[in-house]
Amino acid sequence: MISDRLRDQTNMFGKEIQSLLNSTIASHVQIKAVALSKGDDRLFTLGHLVSKHTMTAQRFPLKPKREKTGLWMDVSFQLRLDAEREHLMVHKSFFGVFGSQDAKHGLCHYDYERDKPDGYPDAHLQIDARSDLFDAVNDPRCDPGRSLAQLHFPVGGKRFRPCLEDVIEFLVVERLVQARDGYEKVLEAGRERFRKNQLMAAMRRDRATVEVFVERYGVRTGA
């Protein structure tokens, strides 16, 4: 049975993501959450128009700066409670940018998979592009036919990975999408909330460092 704490925290998180997207670069995004089981754990999958039949987030359109072009975004999360069954934790996330609703290849995507088992970094960026330099240095005896798009660029790890606000800001400041007035304040508020949550999680997992900090600097308020 899904705990009330997990369900309530997931629903709250879903509302935050929906508001973030609809207040910055998207319209009519409907973030849904569906419960699923995986072994002895309980998880929610969360994304635009997720349903229990598909368990897959749907892409939603953005408004490109360049007219008569298409740009779609794919945002999804898998969420569960932490080991203490107290705090909501992201198990997986995916932020991708594509040229159509069903395109297999896009501009880029940011992936996070906690404790990724295949040796690649938990948090990474993949860019759908080509590089003459990479083609020259890639050893075909080891990785024949590998392209730049298959490289996993590390981006901050478990605690300091990019958040959705960072990806939205990238699309806006690089003049790829149109944004709503006041989007900057929405992004900054969301990013501050994300960073504080990550800091608190890091402190819970490294209390020895917290004790050293308090011993050295004391407990102070303000900057």
Quote the pTM value.
0.91
pLDDT value of residue 223: 53
| Cα angle for residues 91, 153, 141 (degrees, 5° grid) | 115
pLDDT value of residue 83: 79
Give the model confidence (pLDDT) of 113-153 as tens digits.
999 999 999 999 999 999 999 999 999 999 998 999 999 99
Q: Using 50, 70 and 90 to split pLDDT, how confident is the model at 48?
A: very high
Q: Residue 10: pLDDT above 50? A: yes
**Cα–Cα nearest to 62, from 178, 164, 157:** 178
Query: DSSP class of residue 59?
Result: P
Q: Using 50, 70 and 90 to split pLDDT, how confident is the model at 1?
A: very low
Give the model confidence (pLDDT) of 61-92 as tens digits.
999 999 999 999 999 999 998 877 888 999 99
CA distance 203 to 199: 6
| Cα angle for residues 76, 180, 88 (degrees, 5° grid) | 30
Considering the chain, what is the average pLDDT of its residues?
92
Give the model confidence (pLDDT) of 161-210 as tens digits.
999 999 999 999 999 999 999 999 999 999 999 999 999 999 999 999 99
**Cα 69 to the chain's mean position, in Å?**
25
Q: Residue 219: pLDDT above 80? A: no
Whether the Cβ atoms of residue 20 and residue 186 lie closer than 8 Å to each other: yes
Note the residue count of the chain.
223
pLDDT value of residue 222: 58
Tokens linked to 199: 């800091």
The 3-state DSSP class for residue 191 equals helix
